[in-house]
């Protein structure tokens, strides 16, 4: 006789394990299936091994989705404070690093151990590829690891295709389509951008505080030049809003007062632009920018209009990326299973009772800094309470 469960959860990542814990604690018989040999692999490598497990500023406005309101319900019912309570109940020491980002003092392994302890009553089948899923008579049947299991509820928690070498796949989208859910075109997000301009490629390793803007969003953090283009937190953040063909505008003078260069000209007319920029930017970057600006000689000899134009360009340097470094380097996948077909309260498919989708598989993508795990927890709890 094949084993019968109340819920089968596909994917033992953050969202799937959270869902398994909540559902099994409600007395549901839960099976989690994952093709990886170990659970929570992305948790283990996250936050440099310390897992940036939530963000105190996690509010729906900081998530990207075709329906910006979708995340509101789940996120208001399971907040960063709720996850922090769980972390503290498990005796995990934590600290706030910057911008509301909470990390383990010790290791991300503690978060995985906590989720597994919460889901102790669930059966977790690892190293088992899912070879087929069918639905008939109100039951889902899943073929995995040479057997078939069935349940009234099926939860898709297999994430997105970012970092395929870790076993990430687009399987969630295949399943969603099989069961009539739409998929918003997935794309790499929180990802470095590539540039063709050799002048800037020569700056590999140079970092500077900037404000980066794209697609109506702006982030004041560091940008980092790489041998392929641009990275660093400010760029990763805007990459989620950037669309092919558009420019990313970088303000290299985020701290300077308005009309800065003309002020410097009045106060210290004998200095040149390279010297002035070198006081606020790394030398190699100042060299590259000055070469492009074509402003030579002492500031006293440069017309005010030319200085104003140079400053305007420095405050909104337009880079038109050739692309991104793709899923191989993307921290998350934007797009995914369309929220239009899901209940925002339970994550259940509107047209097919018993089918749920949670976590990164769904078209809800957070900012950098603990936001994506908070969505994984909140959506996992929402489904865990409903299955
Ligand atoms: P997740 O991808 O974690 O889990 C999906 C599971 O499904 C995996 O275990 C996978 O093996 C399994 N699976 C996939 N296809 C399958 C198939 N066909 N059959 C069976 N199983 C299958 N976020 C954050 O908030 N703070 C942070 O510090 C970081 N840091 C970070 C670093 C790096 C390097 C990356 C790549 C990502 C982050 N993130 C992050 C993002 C975060 O890791 C991500 O959003 C969550 O792990 C998503 O959780 P899910 O459970 O939805 O998917």
Domains of the chain from N-terminus onward: 4-187+334-384 (3.50.50.60), 193-324 (2.40.30.10)
User: Which positions of the chain have pLDDT values less than 70?
Assistant: 1-2
Using only the alpha carbons of the chain, give its radius of gyration: 24
Please give the pLDDT value at position 277. 97
- Cβ–ligand 1 distance for 331 under 6 Å, the answer yes
Protein residue with least CA distance to atom 2, ligand 1? 159
Protein residue with least CA distance to atom 48, ligand 1? 360
- 3 state SS of 124: strand
In this prediction the pTM is 0.97
- Cβ–ligand 1 distance for 377 under 6 Å, the answer no
**Ligand 1 centre distance from Cα of residue 259 (Å):** 46
Asked whether 6 and 383 are in contact (CB, 8 A), the reply is no
- Atom from ligand 1 closest to the CA of residue 40: 9
State CA 39 to chain mean position distance.
19
Residue partners of 308: CB distance under 8 A and separation at least 6: 259, 261, 262
**Ligand 1 centre distance from Cα of residue 294 (Å):** 46
From start to end of 47-197, where are the E strands? 52-55, 63-64, 94-96, 101-104, 123-125, 130-136, 139-144, 147-156, 183-189, 193-194
Interval 10-45: pLDDT, tens: 999 999 999 999 999 999 999 999 999 999 999 999
Torsion sign, CA atoms 303, 308, 314, 317: negative
Asked whether 172 and 15 are in contact (CB, 8 A), the reply is no
- Cβ–ligand 1 distance for 11 under 6 Å, the answer yes
Question: Which phi and psi (to 5°) does residue 35 adopt?
Answer: -80, -15
- Atom from ligand 1 closest to the CA of residue 128: 20
* 225: number of Cβ within 10 Å: 24
Please give the pLDDT value at position 1. 60
Please give the pLDDT value at position 340. 98
Protein residue with least CA distance to atom 49, ligand 1? 14
């Amino acid at each position: 006789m094949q084993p019968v469960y109340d819920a089968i959860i596909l994917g033992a990542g953050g969202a799937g394990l959270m869902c398994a814990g909540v559902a099994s604690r409600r007395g549901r018989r839960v099976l989690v299936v994952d093709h990886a040999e170990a659970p929570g692999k992305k948790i283990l490598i996250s936050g440099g091994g310390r897992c940036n497990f939530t963000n105190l500023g996690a509010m729906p406005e900081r998530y990207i989705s075709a329906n910006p309101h979708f995340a509101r319900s789940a996120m208001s019912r399971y907040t960063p404070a709720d996850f922090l309570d769980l972390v503290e109940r498990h005796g995990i020491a934590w600290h706030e690093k910057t911008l509301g980002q909470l990390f383990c003092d010790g290791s991300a392994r503690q978060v995985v151990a906590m989720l597994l302890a919460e889901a102790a009553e669930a059966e977790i089948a690892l190293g088992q590829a899912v070879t087929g899923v069918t639905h008939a008579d109100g039951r889902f049947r899943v073929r995995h690891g040479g057997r078939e299991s069935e349940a009234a509820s099926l939860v898709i928690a297999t994430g997105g295709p970012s970092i395929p070498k870790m076993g990430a796949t687009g399987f969630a989208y295949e399943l969603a389509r099989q069961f009539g859910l739409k998929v918003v075109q997935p794309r790499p997000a929180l990802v470095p951008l590539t540039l063709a301009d050799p002048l800037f490629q020569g700056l590999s390793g140079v970092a500077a505080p900037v404000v980066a803007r794209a697609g109506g969003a702006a982030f004041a953090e560091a940008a980092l030049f790489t041998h392929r283009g641009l990275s660093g937190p400010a760029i990763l953040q805007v990459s989620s809003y950037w669309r092919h063909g558009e420019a990313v505008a970088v303000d290299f003078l985020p701290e300077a007062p308005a009309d800065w260069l003309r002020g410097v000209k009045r106060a210290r007319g004998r200095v040149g632009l390279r010297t002035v920029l070198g006081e606020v930017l790394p030398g190699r970057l100042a060299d590259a920018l000055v070469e492009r600006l074509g402003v030579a000689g002492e500031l006293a000899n440069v017309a005010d209009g030319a200085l104003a134009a140079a400053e305007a360009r420095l405050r909104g340097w337009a880079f038109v990326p050739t692309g991104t470094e793709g899923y191989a380097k993307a921290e998350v996948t934007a797009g995914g299973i369309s929220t239009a077909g899901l209940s925002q309260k339970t994550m259940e498919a509107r047209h097919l009772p018993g089918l749920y989708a949670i976590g990164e598989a769904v078209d809800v993508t957070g900012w950098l800094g603990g936001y994506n795990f908070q969505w994984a927890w909140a959506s996992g709890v929402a489904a865990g309470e409903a299955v």
